Structure 1
């Protein structure tokens, strides 16, 4: 499918000093004005929005500064994923630093204890709960500060208030709605860009960015130099990519400059983790965060405790940081093996029993419940059908679902809510609990209700421009690099050409997962094509064919001092 959004591509290209191709790509990513494109191309850290614009930010800072001055005990309640861990680190660092600065000016304090709690994924579930609140009260905690959770915890926060605690909620999730009205928790202050009357210009930020903005204002109020706040940027960037936020507007600036900041990070734990994963800290991309660093940080929360990732960031001891980084790397390797096993079992189960189903419901009783969402995503990719993976959890069955565009998963689950003691989610993903004996009925009714057609199961590949290889130059490749970082909402540009002649084909790598193709256009231009994937499958598909249609991204191959243009193939189809 070709994107067909319209604009004055040539005129804008001249005004912005880029090619019409870049303008078309930006237009395809939702930018309509010259100003939006300028911000995208040339935006700097000065373009970040002031945290003071966020509703209730001033009140939150005032409460926390007062508590710091009074040396009250403060506990941060985070979440077990990458966003929650980074948000917890930012608030912990920010509050402790503000406390030290205030202590300088008001005499030695030192008695304020600022600590944290992160729920256990399996034992506690998501967000602040009654046990955490009662423990905080028993420990003499005066003030609770949530991050990346809390907006939906009205009942729990009511308990905290009954027990005499001050509560500040910082979150970025949707506010619960009852009878078409938002229902905020009864906290002393709520900072969440999704609440009604919000005055912040860009609401699609993650929990760690909300925390980052709170720290900005805390530092201002306590007299901490602004440079110290800027040094924390990398954690806002890691969380933005890890929580799969759209890399547009402020998010793109945060990630672009956060990646640069990581190259010179002073955080020992982060350096050690990058080292353990074999990456170059001076050349990190959003891909590395999303698919290498992020999964290691999430592995602790999935299989053991997210506190390991937070301890890594807080560590100032070389040996301890080294050990924690190694543990997280090893945990992620275990997680990958467990995920692959679960994925293979799920695909086999579908192929044996459920190929005719429109909505795939797979029951893997022995699979670790924290992996259900990842496996559901893999099953969805494999069959291009809405997929729900269920696992046994105590005396119940828990599940995670991943959907396709035409199927609103949350709405469909509401139609079978009588079978679900607990469920939640949005159009593309959901979580649920169900009794084991109700699973067959659940599968049956989801499929009876599904209004999907065979056309809905055909995956669509969107391309930016049908562009012949003749148009690819080193200059264009370098210009496309200016559009980075790529990720959710700012996808890597894709181009296409049909009917390329195949002059040669070689399958490389010990796993035969790299294919090098010699391609020739009808005008006689030759260029290498590189495909990462199943080389043997490609050979079978091309057997007896001498032409190929490709969806590709242009790149430069550097080898022995030589630079040659190449097409990195994302999708292909035998032609001719």
Structure 2
């Protein structure tokens, strides 16, 4: 069940349309994204490199670059310490390649998810000391590592932090801290991922080291992968960086990435945000989840085609294993919820000891999507129970955990996602406490679907669909626009595809007709239509006969290309 909400902002769309030379419909969608200023709207539509900000505005970035320059000049050993997710791997790759290009004596380390945990730790620092490392630079971590960085500096090392996470009350005393979320940082865009911050760093480093400006473009495709996979908002600078990356990734010169594109069957295809977020990224991520993220980094760094294909195959198979584990974990969790008192809770706290801790967050997200209920999945860790949560807009997960902080040995996160560790005997106490203090209402737990515009079928054409391309790439913060129409008749229906999982409908609205496809649960759709209109009408629909079926629909608009022909179609998302 969803609540359908039509966005209806008060705005002079006619004036914006005239100034920008685009339709009022496109203006409405842009305003729905919170962009009301004409200059920002123009920048949104163009989304080119001229919209990127000067990296020198980022606090301590010039200082950090100056330190690295000096270390390169004096042949000091530099170690990059990243993280085990896609953003951490890509950030490490960007810094390593750029530093090596500048002649640095540089290597890298990535923590093991299970053995080391997140970010820089004392064992990594001790290893760096034993290896004669002079300087550590973190990427995608470090802003919260106060004690660890203090230990490194007291041991005589120089430490530079590059990060993008929220800044804690007390920050490390590093030699330079580069995180645009610092309160006194003047950088105008605060939502870069870790790889975005690393890219900004090397932009200035290349300039100072007199490396040709065009060489930084080799990193666009990698920044795009990290930006999409870290699920930061695809707005402003992030949108520009992802668009630039998508423009070049199909012609990548990176041997490892090329092997991965080939292994996943998308080499030569028009790569989209979907491919970055659901095919390429998860394969790189799989090594960090089920093995060691170093393999993902080695794939990107290798110059050997044979090694690249072997690593790509290994990552591809690891990701398939991860997918199977996730499906089983989701099924088992849903069964547990449906057959217990958990189903009546407003916040799910589900303890599944056998779930691999690296996929607990993914499973929490899938369960959250199904029930629209904030969900914590708990599993057995090394010496404790570990939990990972995914939330809904109405529930600030980090704040709610903070109210129970005495239960945890460690916790952290933000409003939409969080993680923690606690002793096994506190699991039931956590479930009871988190539910007793919540202020979530029945209305909060109803999923909201926000519609960008009501549009009659007669107004949908190729020109409409082509103009919508200005809005790409889509992602968090810039979702694919949703449109709605009421009382749509279905003239005929058919099921297609190799696995018979695609429903194709011929729709009529007034005197207009348009094709529609649906990738959802066809059995559920049929059951709904049969219940509302009767089985005879359902059969008439499939046989192309006159029927009495009329539905309200929410859909996307897109162009279908087949055998050189283009036609506009809609993609059904919700119906009633």
TM interval, shorter chain, is over 0.9
Secondary structure at the aligned position of 1:123 is classed as: coil
* Mapped contact 2:47–2:239 kept (Cα < 8 A): no
Cross-structure match for 2:112: 120
SS in 1 for 2:97: helix
State the Cα distance separating 1:282 from its structure 2 match: 5.1
Q: 2:395 and 2:74 mapped to 1: Cα distance? A: 53
In the TM superposition, residue 324 of structure 1 has moved relative to its aligned partner by 0.9
What does 1:228-307 correspond to in 2, within 5 Å? 228-281=215-268, 283-307=270-294
Which residue of structure 2 aligns with residue 41 of structure 1?
45
Map 1:1-20 → 2, pairs under 5 A: 1-20=5-24
Give CA-to-partner distance per residue, 1:287-315, whole Å, 9 cap, x none: 21111111111111000011111111101
Deviation by residue 1:115-159 (Cα, 9 ceiling, x = unmatched): 000011111111000000001001110000000000000100010
Are 1:557 and 2:557 matched, yes or no? no
Is the 8 Å Cα contact of residues 269 and 315 (structure 1) preserved in structure 2?
A: yes
Contact 1:507 1:536 in 2 (8 A): no
- Would you say the 8 A contact 1:512–1:536 is kept in 2? no
SS in 2 for 1:454: coil
The alpha-carbon deviation at position 481 of structure 1 amounts to 1.0
Query: Following the alignment from structure 1 to structure 2, what is the Cα–Cα distance between the partners of residues 476 and 330?
Result: 41
Match for residue 89 of structure 2? 85
State the shift of 1:6 in Å: 2.4
C-alpha displacement of 1:245? 1.2
TM (norm. structure 1) is: 0.94
Question: Could you say which residue in structure 1 is the equivalent of 2:536?
Answer: none
Which of 428-437 and 125-134 deviates more?
428-437
Alignment correspondent of 1:470: 458
1:314 to 295, 301, 318: 301
Instruction: Measure how far apart 1:281 and its partner are.
Output: 4.5
Choose the corresponding residue for 2:142, options 146, 150, 158. 150
Distance 1:202 1:35 in 2: 16
Contact 1:262 1:282 in 2 (8 A): no
Q: Give the Cα separation in 2 of the matches to 1:229 and 1:558.
A: 35
Partner of 1:102: none
Matches within 5 A, 1:369-518: 369-518=357-506
2 CA distance for matches of 1:565 and 1:114? 52
**Rounded Cα–Cα distance in structure 2 between residues aligned with 1:440 and 1:184:** 34
TM-superposition CA deviations, 1:197-227 (whole Å, max 9, x none): 1121211111111111111111111111111
Alpha carbons of 1:457 and 1:288: their partners in 2 closer, same or farther (altered >3 Å)? Answer: same
Deviation at 1:62, TM superposition (A): 0.9
Greater CA drift, 47-56 or 128-137: 47-56
Residue 330 of structure 1, aligned match among 296, 300, 317:
317
Instruction: Give the alignment's Cα RMSD to 1 decimal.
Output: 1.2
Between the two proteins, the alignment pairs up a number of residues equal to: 555
User: Does the 8 Å contact 1:76/1:146 carry over to 2?
Assistant: yes
State which of 121, 126, 129 in structure 2 corresponds to 1:134.
126
**1:39-188 matched pairs, under 5 angstroms:** 39-99=43-103, 113-177=105-169, 183-188=170-175
How far 1:557 moved relative to its partner? Answer: 2.2
1:380-428 Cα offsets, whole Å, 9 max, x none, are 1111111100000123110101111221111111222221111111111
SS at match of 1:125: coil
C-alpha contact 1:245 1:488 (8 A) present in aligned 2 = yes
CA distance in 2, matches of 1:122, 1:2: 45
Q: Hey, what's the Cα distance between the residues in 1 that align with 2:323 and 2:446? A: 28
Contact preservation (8 Å) 2:47, 2:243: no
Q: Contact 1:550/1:569 (CA < 8 Å) preserved in 2?
A: yes
Q: Closer, same or farther in 2 for the Cα pair 1:222/1:559, shift >3 Å?
A: closer
- The TM-score with structure 2 as length reference comes to 0.94
User: 1:68-110: per-residue Cα shift (whole Å, max 9, x none)?
Assistant: 11101110000011111111001001111011xxxxxxxxxxx
> For 1:281 and 1:411, how far apart are their aligned partners in 2?
46
Q: CA separation in 2, counterparts of 1:6 and 1:285? A: 33
Uncovered stretches (5+) of structure 1, i.e. residues with no partner:
100-111, 178-182
Moved over 3 A (4+): 509-512
Map of 1:363 onto structure 2: 351
Offset of residue 47 of structure 1: 2.4
Does structure 2 conserve the Cα–Cα contact (< 8 Å) formed by 1:91 and 1:215?
yes
Give 1:510 deviation, angstroms.
Answer: 4.8
